[in-house]
Every structure is written in structure tokens, then in C-alpha cells.
Amino acid sequence: MSSFPRPIATTRSVTGISTGKLAVWWLIASEIVIFGGVLGSYLMHRIGHPEWASHAAHTNTWAGAFNTLVLLTSSLFAVLAHQAADQKDGKKAAKFLYLTVLGAFTFLIVKSIEWTGEIQAGYTISSHTFWSFYYTAAGIHGVHVLAGAIIMLVIASDAKKGVDLQRVEAVGLYWHFVDIVWIFLFPLLYIAK
């Protein structure tokens, strides 16, 4: 992987912003519209159907709140990892990245417990359009959490060797974005009852 010959294009930086970071910003921009599409559709339906509140009442607000806390903490670790990377301390950056990944997996575990309970209670993706939105929106977000965790593991193992430290900041940006999406999902799916 690292023996890949990089083109000169990669080393230029006309804007003064590193290429990886720029790309992550554009990635985030395109993701915003994807989540915008899901949440916009959901909001339109929700406003048109006040009676969905009775379904929303069956979501587990405490699990959601706990997960919000977990993600916020992990975002903090991502910031610390970035700081460490700025100081060229790859080992420390990797350590904080692992902590962030720990947060990601905690989030996913809580999520699976939650979903198992709900599915056992008979609320599946096809039982009502509220639940369809609930599983779809949170599911797409969950896939992003998982993807972020895997990317962070790869970057952390490079960072440990002091390679490509600039990526730590880029993945941190992405992680903050995933976090912010959850900050929107949580009130919309769990609190609005």
C-alpha cells in the first residue's frame, strides 16, 4: 500500500489546505444532502401525521441519550488525536483514535441491543412508516459510524508508525460530521413524541 508511487499532483496545495482535508469537506457536503433528503422526507411526513407520536413513544429515549453522550465523548477524543498529530506524536494520536473507535463500537452495541428489543416487541421496519424511517435513518447513520471506525483503525495503525499524520485531522472532521448527524436524529426520532 505505501509503496504506491504518488503523483506530483498530490503534493501541490494551491489553496493552502491539504488535499485530504479538502476532499473530506466535499465528502461532507455531499453527505449533508443525502441526510437532508432522508430527514426532509421524514419531517414532511411527521408534520402531516401527528398520530405517529404514538409509535415514537415506543423508542428508548434513554438509550438514545446515552448514545449521544458516547458520540460526543468520542468526538472529543478525535480532537485530542488531532492535537497529538499536530505535535507529530503519532503514538499518542493513534491511542486517542483507538479511544474514538471504542466509542463507535459502544454506540453500535447499544444500538443493536435497542433494535433487538424493538424488533422483539414487534416494531419492525415494515410494520409502520414511522418505523421504516426510524430504521432507515438510523441504519444509514450506523453504516457511517461503522465505516468511520474502520477508517480510523487503518489511519491509527499508520499513525503509530508516524505515517500520514495529516489524515488524523481529516478523519476527525468526518467523525464530527457523523456526530452532528446524530445530534439531529436523536431529537427527531426519540424526543419528538
Partner 1 sequence: MSSSSTATAQAPEAEHDAHGHGHGHDAHGGHHAPQSFFHKYLYSTDHKIIGMQYLFTGMFMALIGGFTVYAFRMQMAFPGMSVPGYGRVSAGDYNALVTTHGSVMIFWVAMPVLIAALGNYLIPLMIGCDDMVFPRLNRLSYQIFLLSVIVLIASFFVDGGAFGGAWTSYPPLSAKAQYNLTPLGAPMCLTAVALEFAAFLMGGINFVTTVMNSRAPGMKMFDVPIVIWSIIIASILFMASVGPLIAGAIMLLFDQTLGTAFFDPNKGGDPVLWQHLFWFFGHPEVYVVLLPAMGIVAEVIVTFSRKKLFAYKTVLYTMVGTGVISFFVWAHHQFVAGIDPRMANIFSVTTLLVSIPVAEMVFVYIATLYGGSIRLTTPMLWALAFIAEFLLGGVTGIYLGSSGADIYFHDTYFVLAHFHYTFFPIAFIAVFAALTYWFPKMFGRYMNEAWGKVHFWGTIIAFNFIFIPLFLLGARGDHRRIYDYTHFPDLMKPGMQDLRVLATVSLVVLLCFQVIFVVNYFLSMVRGPKASANPWKANTLEWAAPSPPPHGNFPDGLPTVHRGPYEYSHPDRQEDYWPQNAS
Nine cell digits for residue 115: 433494535
Q: Which of 14, 47, 57, 121 binds partner 1 (CB under 8 A)?
A: 14
Q: Which of residues 151-180 bind partner 1 (CB under 8 A)?
A: 163-164, 166
- Give the nearer residue to partner 1 in terms of CB position, either 15 or 120: 15
Cell, residue 127: 410494520
Torsion sign, CA atoms 103, 62, 177, 35: positive
* Nearest 10 degrees: Cα torsion 59, 172, 83, 8: 180
For residue 78, the minimal CB distance to partner 1 (Å) is 20
Interacting residues of 88 by C-beta distance below 8 A, sequence separation 6+: 162, 165
Question: What is the rounded radius of gyration, in angstroms, for the C-alpha atoms of the chain?
Answer: 19
Binding mask 34-73 for partner 1 (x = CB under 8 A): xxxxx-xx--xx---x------------------------
If one asks whether residue 5 binds partner 1 (CB under 8 A), the answer comes out as: yes
Q: Is 119 exposed, middle or buried (0-12, 13-18, 19+ CB in 10 A)?
A: middle
The residue range among 77-85, 86-94, 131-139, 172-180 that interacts with partner 1, by the rule CB under 8 A, is 131-139
Footprint on this chain of partner 1 (rule: CB under 8 A): 2-19, 22-23, 26-27, 29-38, 40-41, 44-45, 49, 125-126, 128-129, 132-133, 136, 140, 163-164, 166
